[in-house]
Amino acid sequence: MPVDERAALQRDRLRGLVDRLLATGGVQGARLKEAGVGGGSDVAPADLHRLPFTTKRDLWDHYPFGMLAVPRDQVAAVHGSSGTRGRPTLVAYTRADLDLWAAMCARSLSCAGAAPGSIVHNAYGYGLFTGGIGVHQGAVALGATVVPMSGGMTARQVRMLADLRPDILTCTPAYALRLGEAAAEAGVELDALRAGLFGAEPWSEGLRGAIERVLPIKAMDIYGLSEIIGPGVATECLEQDGLHVNEDHFIVEAVDPASGEPVADGTPGELVFTTPTKQALPLLRYRTGDIASLDRRACPCGRTLVRMSKVIGRADDMIVVRGVNVYPSEVERALLATGLVAPHYQLVVDRRGPSARLLVACEALTGDPRAELTRALHEALGFTAEVFPLPGGTVPRVEVGKAVRVVTWDEGDPPLPGLA
């Protein structure tokens, strides 16, 4: 779509959203009134940065149904996070929202090279988590054949991959690696696979390389969050150079996480989304906590949708070790760039003593890589992390759900054998 045409669409849709929020009279409507907004005609996309934010706290405070913008009986489904990293969040969808979600996931699948007739092996978890059902509905809407594997039971997954010969694989990046290794161990060749859409957790270019070495595919990044809709908010095209944001439905901004002020394109900031077309849970300027930069330059693929970089980390995932801010993905990038370790690692923040230590548990490919890894990490992070090469298979592999990259050691035995 030409950029001007989409800007006009965004303007009209944003005005409609503001009118709906004001009419609903919930927390978002009240904040708009306080900000002096009397109706949709008062706002334009260029003024978006002056409007109030919405946060996860609002969802918690109004859990489960307090932020609905439609009567409860129009809610066709709910999804959410289990709350392993905090309190549970619940999001609601009308039938129209489910159709929008399916369309956005279909668009994402096709952006990554899937087409009607594709076979999509979907190993995202099904259930309250949005990954499985979101991608499933997208594959159906695209006219593909979906294999609803969900996560786990890796031997069975390998069997289905061998028997059904899918061309598209969808799962978390950590599980893609696990599946590739398990297929190789079982002597199964996955020569029909062409592309994968991996997301739900941060991953680096190094991990992309590792996945593309164990699987005969192009590995693409797919981003989303339950609050906005689930997967299908943004996806990489075959250029593998940034994720196209479906900004006709999800208007994106990047802001300074501390001040909340907009940052320039190309500068990492916290992603903030507005959902002008969602019905059950429309959100105005929702703060994601995810750090990435935006790129409005034309993409060789021809899509005019703004691109976001891979997510660098979450504002709340940042580890602070001796005053230095570290995102797990920076450690991943530095580790894998050495080519000396397998792409399985875990960061242990030892908080038992007066000053925190960062322990990096990894698996060496050959020899003792400690000196070189310590040097590479020092160069990347600016302080000394302690490297622990452990025997192959010691670092936990993820089978279900999201990879746990960081654990804290507060007291007692080390979280992994071999650490000290």
Residues in touch with ligand DLL (CB under 6 A):
81, 124, 129-131, 199-202, 221-226, 230-231, 288, 290, 311, 314
- Cβ(138)–Cβ(199) below 8 Å: no
The structure tokens listed for 377 are 């990490």
Q: How far apart are CA 226 and CA 203, in angstroms?
A: 19
The structure tokens listed for 356 are 């925190």
**Closer Cβ to ligand DLL, 179 or 225, answer by number:** 225
**Closer Cβ to ligand DLL, 167 or 332, answer by number:** 332
The packing angle between helices 205-214 and 328-337, to 10°, is: 50
Q: In angstroms, how far apart are the furthest CA atoms of the chain?
A: 68
Q: Tell the smallest beta-carbon distance from residue 248 to ligand DLL (Å).
A: 19
B/e letters for 337-363, b = 16+ CB within 10 Å, e = fewer, are ebebbbbbbbbbbbeeeeebbbbbbbb
In 267-347, alpha helices (H)? 328-337
Q: Tell the smallest beta-carbon distance from residue 357 to ligand DLL (Å).
A: 26
**Closer Cβ to ligand DLL, 174 or 387, answer by number:** 174
Q: Tell the smallest beta-carbon distance from residue 191 to ligand DLL (Å).
A: 25
Q: Tell the smallest beta-carbon distance from residue 288 to ligand DLL (Å).
A: 5
The structure tokens listed for 314 are 């979450």
Q: Tell the smallest beta-carbon distance from residue 317 to ligand DLL (Å).
A: 8
**Closer Cβ to ligand DLL, 28 or 81, answer by number:** 81
Q: Tell the smallest beta-carbon distance from residue 59 to ligand DLL (Å).
A: 11
**Closer Cβ to ligand DLL, 142 or 200, answer by number:** 200
- Cβ(196)–Cβ(211) below 8 Å: yes
Beta-strand runs (E) in 73-155: 77-81, 89-93, 119-122, 145-148
**Closer Cβ to ligand DLL, 130 or 157, answer by number:** 130
Q: Return the residue nearest ligand DLL (CB atom).
A: 199
